[in-house]
Chains A and B, each alone.
Chain A
Amino acid sequence: MGDKITPIKRFDEMDYYEILNVEKTASQEEIESAYLAGIATYHPDSLASYSLISEVERRLIIKKIEEAFQILGNSEKRRMYDLEINNTVKFYPKAYFRKSTKKLEIEDGEVKKNIWQKLKSLFSRKRKMDVQKKPAESYSINTGVPNLLRGEYLKKVREIRGLRLDDVASEIKMNISQLKALEEEDYESLPKGINISSLIKTYAHYLGFIHQDKQSIESKKDPLH
């Protein structure tokens, strides 16, 4: 114990909980607000970070925060991640193999189930199928856009940044009514044939919380891709 040294971690060595600055036991609500606060902290307009860290670092940390929220913001993914960072899948060999008393048999039943679930969760292919079966949980039905980009988040981020709808609209050349529809997830009212997910992405990109997508949007313009 004496010679064990905890090095100071750079932010790219921190786990997702440290990145969002929440306890390992944090509720989904706490994680969500930590995520929003994190984005606000490292956003290009934030007063809190520009003087200490570089533009590049800020972009990297925002990316990390996004990543952290993608995982911790989803209870299933979070459970997997917890298993991964604890790096110990606990089996209960003692109870599992002894069947001498009634009491233990009852326990056996539960333990078996636990192990089965844990094993199941270790196979990612199965997990993907599970996710697809329950689209409502991680994807909004109409658009196939990750939960992260749902209207309420867009709205929250915009409000935290103190932006008004009409300002945003003129900046990214959209109608106010369209933006409102996105925030309220009222996709029916949008013109037919319009690409909803690209609208959302443009908006989210403007708010500063997706980066990888700029490239993918641009690459779609190229017919060869």
Chain B
Amino acid sequence: MILKENKTIWAVGGGKGGTGKSFISSSLAIQLASQNNDVLTIDADLGGPNLHTFLGIKEAKSDLGDFVTNKVTKLAETAIPTSFANLKLIKGSENVLFMANLNHYKKLRLIRQIKTLEEKRVIIDIGTGSSYNSLDFFLLSNPGILVITPEPTSIENTYYFLKSCIVRILNLYMDYYKIENMTRKIIKEIENDSKSIYSFFNTIISYNKSLAQLLYRALKNFKSCLVMNKVRSEKDLLLGYSITDVARKFLAVELSFVGSIPYDERVHRSLNKFVPFTLEYPDSQVTQSIKLISEKLVEYGG
């Protein structure tokens, strides 16, 4: 993907709901904006948008839906100011049923416009799930950020999500290069069994070496970051490392563990007051770790 120089698009996602994606999106946005960056956050959680709540906004005169329904032609026009300097928001549409079934061409148009936005730092909250829509937003980013919590359910869903990404990448490339059905079946197998990634590549190597190389590169270029949220012990930190190791060895996917955020009951209370947590408790461990994570991500994006 070719982006303007120095422009970064972070997409915050993950398989499971309630892991803190919107909290992390909004906190990272506030953090970057406070360092004099022009930041735009987009709530692309098509199923249940609530990023605005985390930024203390209760209503907005325009949202993402206006762009999708052609009310306005430019995505940038739907952005609304927030109470933070340098930070704008494109609020998620309340027309959830319509948005969740966003059609392919509208999605492409949306993606194209996201790439050409003026702001140097764009943060997309893609919400829960592994639908094609969520995956495509995730794959457009540099890097995508997976948010997980140290619970078996969250970890399981993370692997599903990564597998879906792999399948999506392979499919997109094969569409683009008009590769016929022969290998499609094997892609289906990958969804059920991680081992078949190897057999998939072995099959393609024997059939068409340059194609194998192309797909292999595509997969190698897929790099994403991992953030562990609601951490309660040292052991949870080890888990973050473990997940990256399992992904590397068994899914051939490069994941960077960029940091963790401790569990803090007060996050919940701040939300109830419509006050961003990182402002209410600037010295808390949570705020400090958000800072560290944003530094690491900036470094990672180059």
Binding site for B on A (CB under 8 A): 3, 5-8, 10-11, 14, 21, 37-38, 40-41, 46-53, 57, 61, 160, 162
Q: How far is the CB of B67 from chain A (nearest CB, A)?
A: 38
Contact B242–A51 (Cβ < 8 Å): no
Q: At the interface, yes or no: B213 with Cβ under 8 Å from chain A?
A: yes
Any chain A CB within 8 A of the CB of B155? yes
A155 to chain B, nearest CB (A): 15
Contact between chains at A8 and B194 (CB < 8 Å): no
Q: Which of the candidate stretches B89-97, B98-106, B180-188, B244-252 sits at the interface with the other chain? A: B244-252
Interface residues of B in 233-283 (CB under 8 A from A): 235, 238-239, 241-243, 245-246, 248-252
Chain A's nearest CB lies how many Å from the CB of B244? 8
A160 touches B238 (CB 8 A): yes
- How distant is the Cα of A117 from the Cα of B3 in the complex, in angstroms? 54
- CA distance in complex: A153, B246 (Å): 23
Report the minimal beta-carbon distance from B42 to chain A, rounded to whole angstroms. 31
A7 to B159, CA, bound (A): 22
Question: By the criterion CB–CB under 8 Å, are B213 and A5 in contact?
Answer: yes
Rounded to whole angstroms, the CA-CA distance of A11 and B198 in the bound complex is 10
Residue-by-residue, is B133-156 near A (CB-CB < 8 Å gives 1, otherwise 0)? 000000000000000001110011
Q: Which residues of B contact A61 (CB under 8 A)?
A: 249
Q: Is B202 an interface residue (CB 8 A)?
A: yes
User: A5-B209, A8-B252 given as contacts; is B246 within 8 A of A53 (CB)?
Assistant: yes
Give every chain B residue within 8 A of A11 (Cβ-Cβ).
249-250
Residue of B nearest to A20 (CB): B245
Contact, CB under 8 Å: A49 / B242: yes
CA distance A51 to B249 in the complex (A): 14
- A208 to B89 alpha-carbon distance, docked (Å): 51
Contact yes or no, B201 A47, CB < 8 A: no
Residues of B within 8 A of A57 (CB): 250
Complex contact A6–B216 (CB within 8 A)? yes
Write out the residue numbers on chain A whose beta carbons fall within 8 Å of the beta carbon of B252: 8
Size bracket, chain B contacts = 20 to 34
Nearest-CB distance from A19 to chain B (Å)? 8
CB contact between A52 and one of B150, B241, B251 (< 8 Å): that residue: B251
Bound CA–CA A57/B245 (angstroms): 14
CB atoms of B246 and A49 under 8 A apart? yes
A37–B238 contact, CB under 8 A? yes
For B209, the chain A residues whose CB sits under 8 A away are 3, 5
Interface flag for B231 (CB, 8 Å): no
**Smallest Cβ-Cβ distance to B249: which chain A residue:** A11
Contact status of A7 and B235, CB under 8 A, knowing A49-B242, A53-B250:
no
Chain A residues whose C-beta falls within 8 Å of the C-beta of B243 in the assembled complex:
48
Contact between chains at B248 and A7 (CB < 8 Å): no
Q: How far is the CB of B257 from the nearest CB of chain A, in Å?
A: 11
Q: Which residues of A contact B216 (CB under 8 A)?
A: 5-8
B292 contacts partner chain A, Cβ-Cβ < 8 Å: no
Picked from A7, A10, A14, A41, the residue with its CB within 8 Å of the CB of B242 is: A41
* Of the residues B210, B241, B250, contact of A37 by C-beta under 8 Å: B241
Please report the number of residue pairs spanning A and B whose Cβ atoms sit closer than 8 angstroms.
Answer: 70
Q: How far is the CB of B166 from chain A (nearest CB, A)?
A: 11
Task: Give every chain B residue within 8 A of A37 (Cβ-Cβ).
Answer: 238, 241-242, 245
Q: How far is the CA of A5 from the CA of B194 in the complex (A)?
A: 21
Smallest CB gap from B152: residue in A: A47
Does B108 belong to the interface (CB within 8 Å)? no
Residue B205 lies at the interface, judged by CB distance under 8 Å to chain A: yes
Complex Cα distance, B247 from A11, in Å, reads 11
B100: min CB distance to chain A, Å? 27
Knowing A5-B209, A52-B159, A52-B194 are in contact, say whether A47-B249 is a contact too (CB < 8 A).
Answer: no
Q: What's the Cα separation between A61 and B249 when bound, in Å? A: 10
Give the residues in chain B near A51, CB-CB below 8 Å.
Answer: 152, 155-156, 159
Known contacts being A3-B210, A52-B251, is A8 close to B198, with CB within 8 Å?
Answer: yes
Nearest to A54 among chain B residues (CB) is B195
B197 in the interface, Cβ–Cβ < 8 Å?
yes
Q: Per a CB cutoff under 8 Å, which of B152, B198, B239 touches A10?
A: B198
Query: Beyond A8-B216, A51-B159, A162-B235, is A41–B246 a contact (Cβ under 8 Å)?
Result: yes
The reply on B169 being an interface residue by CB < 8 A is no
Q: Tell me which residues across on chain B come within 8 A of A50, comparing CB atoms.
A: 152
Q: Which residues of B contact A40 (CB under 8 A)?
A: 238, 242
Complex interface: chain A residues within 8 A of B202 (CB)? 7
Assembled-state Cα–Cα distance A110/B245 (Å):
42
A41-B245 contact, Cβ under 8 Å, with A8-B201, A160-B238 = yes
B212 contacts A by Cβ under 8 Å: yes
Q: How far is the CB of B137 from chain A (nearest CB, A)?
A: 24
Q: A5-B216, A47-B239 are in contact. Are A52 and B198 (CB under 8 A)?
A: no
Min distance, Cβ A53 to any Cβ of chain B, angstroms? 6
What are some 24 contacts across the A-B interface (CB < 8 A)?
A3-B213, A5-B209, A5-B212, A7-B201, A7-B205, A8-B198, A8-B252, A21-B248, A37-B241, A37-B245, A40-B238, A47-B151, A47-B239, A48-B239, A49-B242, A51-B152, A52-B194, A52-B246, A52-B251, A53-B194, A57-B250, A160-B235, A160-B238, A162-B235
